[in-house]
Amino acid sequence: MTPAPRRAARAPSPRRRTGASAAPAPIGSIPLEGSPKPHPALGLGLWGLGRWTEEDEARTKATIGRAYEAGFRWFDTAEVYGGGRSERLLGEVLQRAAGAASDAFVATKVSWEHLRPSQVRASLINSLERLGRRSVDLYLVHGPDPHVSLAETLGTLETLWKEGKVGALGVSNFSVEELESAAKGLSEARIAVNQVRWNLFDRRDADPVREYCRSHGILIEAYTPLARGLLHGRYLDGKSAPADVRRFIEHQFPPDRFPDVLERARALRALARESGVSLPSIALHWLARQGAAPVVGMSRPEQVDSNLAAWAVRPSDAVLDRADAIARGDRA
């Protein structure tokens, strides 16, 4: 006999609560070159969400709903996240908000497998259908394909931009050489964003492109800003990380370096406690001081509140300087 399915929790409506509930916290925004909307300074990343069980999907919806209610407006997804399910879940939640969340800043990405002109257009149309929107505020090339001309891909994206289906164009995981190649396909639009992995411990992708992006007015969006929980204080007291997190950490840090990274993370936590701020406050505002916009992965509503609380408190420049030195291994 098949057991009765577990009843999934209903996602709360993202409409603003009444009564004693606090108003959404201000997150702030950054001007974005060529975009009709400013870019929120902190975002919710939906990587890895929407792939699993009905219960997982309900939790994802609850997280998105809580994020919108609490003041998040930047939602980052992609057609490859959950095979499109992440976009669908995001669209379902935002459609329930007042005015279908017209103030949301929705960003999605075309897969590196769909960069030929006909594929790009089809991918965007499919993403818009799943999101339930006529346009997206930001459309990123998720990664380059060595077999497809970047200029050709960006030329197609510019056409979609002219048609009003895209508010701004961007890329992800691009080197300076790839940024320059992609820009050759644009005549009126411009590359407004490069999204790369960047946090206090992992600067390999960001350091080579930082100056180029700054000088060309390209905003860097920083994903994995909390190093998959290490910079939130997780796994620092002997608790083993889940298998997927261990794999990600091993990808970021060679096994022989990981014990040193843990030691530095503990030193950063001690600095946070000494300074009266949280460890994620240091991690997020260190990136903001570099001019980056962090996009944080969250899978539970309570993580929305903790990350928003961390963002609300900015550590002093002296604390951020010390954190930078600790993370680099310069204790002096």
Confidence at residue 246, expressed as pLDDT on a 0 to 100 scale: 65
Residues of the chain under the 70 pLDDT cut? 1-25, 48-52, 239-250, 252-253, 255, 331-332
- For the chain, what is the largest distance between any 2 Cα atoms, rounded to a whole number of angstroms? 66
Q: What is the pLDDT of residues 285-326, one digit of tens each?
A: 999 999 999 999 998 999 999 999 999 999 999 999 999 999
pTM over 0.95: no
Domain of residue 171, residue span:
29-230+279-314
- Which residues are tagged catalytic? 81
Contact 136, 108 (CB under 8 A): yes
* Residues contacting 257, CB < 8 A, separation 6+: none
Residue 325, domain member (yes or no): no
Structural domains of the chain, count: 1
Confidence at residue 330, expressed as pLDDT on a 0 to 100 scale: 78
Confidence at residue 241, expressed as pLDDT on a 0 to 100 scale: 65
> Pairing between strand 169-172 and 74-76?
unpaired
Residue 142, domain member (yes or no): yes
> Pairing between strand 29-30 and 105-110?
unpaired
Confidence at residue 1, expressed as pLDDT on a 0 to 100 scale: 39
Residue 145, domain member (yes or no): yes
Confidence at residue 80, expressed as pLDDT on a 0 to 100 scale: 94
Residue 35, domain member (yes or no): yes
Residue 320, domain member (yes or no): no
CA angle 294, 105, 277 (to 5 degrees): 30
Residue 328, domain member (yes or no): no
